[in-house]
A = this chain, B = another copy of it.
Amino acid sequence: MNFTSDNSYGAAPEIIEAMARANEGALGSYGADPLAERVEERLREIFETDLRVFLVTTGTAANALALASVSPPWGTVFCHAEAHIAEDECGAPEFFGGGLTLRHLPGQDAKIELEALADSVTECGARGVHQTQPAALSLTNLTEKGALYTPAEIAALSETAHAGRCAVHLDGTRFANAVVASGKTPADLSWRSGVDILCLGATKNGALAAEAVIYFEPERQAEAIASFEFRRKRGGHLVSKGRLLSAQMDAWLAGDFWLNRAAHSNAMGQRLAAGLRAIDGVEITNDAAANILFVRLPLPVHRHLRAAGAAYYLEPASQTEEGDGVSVRARLVCSPSTPPASVDAFIGLCADAVTVTA
């Protein structure tokens, strides 16, 4: 019963097998291998457009390198106050971006409010050199709070961003979950809605460590792309045996593998949500559109779960195991490897605890 994160399990066996297969023989190093080309081709198919792609090992590197490639050191990146880049990357965007500034925006379930963005972009930089200047909008879909942006919402935010001279970056660490949960195409959820750069995460959806930084309209973005390549090397993120990454991504994108993995995570998330909703005193507090739930657990339920070995994080992290003395707030994440039995066991434990304490 591990609901700590979608990266607490290893990779799917198919990914490991692909890595083993790709391991044979001598190949061009530093990304100059045939698999890397095939990945780029495959992504063009999936996204129905031209693009350039670069592979890195972590989502933090993907996001920070992407943002640094479109923002000067005196740029402002607009993001939700609860975004991963704001809360969980130890200042990586500021580091890679030479001291750029994040501007935190509000919004329910970690979705940026359109009006807040519009106001903030207008205000930012109005005093010329005295202020940092609008440089990028960073969205996350699926959001950190498990919610979905629709293509229309993305398009509205992107339009505002572009009008304010901002590039649009999408942190897609759970992009596959968003595609599956929304029923929209990858294109609709990205470039057709104004996204310029997508960080497409495979690590949380069955890979071992592989993230794709995708630049749409590569000719228009030639300068950012050139900058990315130097920054990646300089950041220590150009792996010599590039097949490590390309083999993972190639296998992950083959057929509907990547979507199937996300479909499983989402299904487990929805199964968990349905089960918990039926239990008195347990409350789901977010718009749990896919595989992430935020729940309020009565303290006895929490203790019962912990005693049974259930693993999950409390949010915010500064909360103690006693929460507010009555309940705790917990984050439950389902992964592509979460067995239905784990979900059912968790629900069962909650139900038991409620019955006993009632």
A87 touches B235 (CB 8 A): no
Q: How far is the CA of A209 from the CA of B19 in the complex (A)?
A: 12
User: With A101-B102, A208-B244, A316-B123 as given contacts, are A90 and B234 in contact (CB-CB < 8 Å)?
Assistant: yes
- Give 1 or 0 for each of A202-240: 1 = CB within 8 Å of chain B CB: 011000110000000000000000010111111111111
Per the bound structure, the CA–CA distance linking A203 and B240 in Å amounts to 8
Which A residues from 152 to 205 make CB contacts under 8 A with B?
Answer: 203-204
Q: How far is the CA of A291 from the CA of B272 in the complex (A)?
A: 57
CA distance A25 to B339 in the complex (A): 11
Q: Which of chain B's residues has its CB closest to A122's CB? A: B318
Contact of A236 among B122, B126, B204, B235 (CB under 8 A): B235
Q: How far is the CA of A234 from the CA of B239 in the complex (A)?
A: 18
Chain B contacts for A58, CB-based, 8 A: 236-240
Given known A-B contacts A10-B22, A29-B5, A240-B58, A316 and B126 have beta carbons under 8 A apart: yes
A9 to B72, CA, bound (A): 33
Q: A102: nearest residue on chain B (CB-CB)?
A: B101
Contact B22 A19 (CB under 8 A): no
Shortest Cβ gap from A34 to chain B (Å): 14
Compute how far the CA of A337 lies from the CA of B23 in the bound complex, rounded to whole angstroms.
Answer: 12
Other-chain residue from B129, B133, B208 in contact with A238 (beta carbon distance below 8 A):
B129
> Any chain B CB within 8 A of the CB of A56?
yes
Q: Are A101 and B92 in contact (CB under 8 A)?
A: no
- Counting from the closest, the 10 A-B pairs by CB-CB distance are A61-B236, A10-B23, A94-B99, A7-B240, A126-B317, A2-B26, A60-B236, A129-B233, A126-B318, A74-B230
23 pairs across A/B with beta carbons < 8 Å?
A8-B29, A9-B26, A10-B22, A11-B241, A16-B23, A26-B337, A30-B129, A73-B95, A74-B90, A74-B231, A88-B127, A90-B233, A92-B233, A94-B100, A97-B99, A98-B99, A99-B99, A123-B317, A129-B233, A203-B240, A209-B244, A235-B235, A236-B237
Other 5 A-B pairs with CB < 8 A, given A89-B236, A104-B104: A10-B241, A60-B238, A74-B234, A96-B236, A123-B318
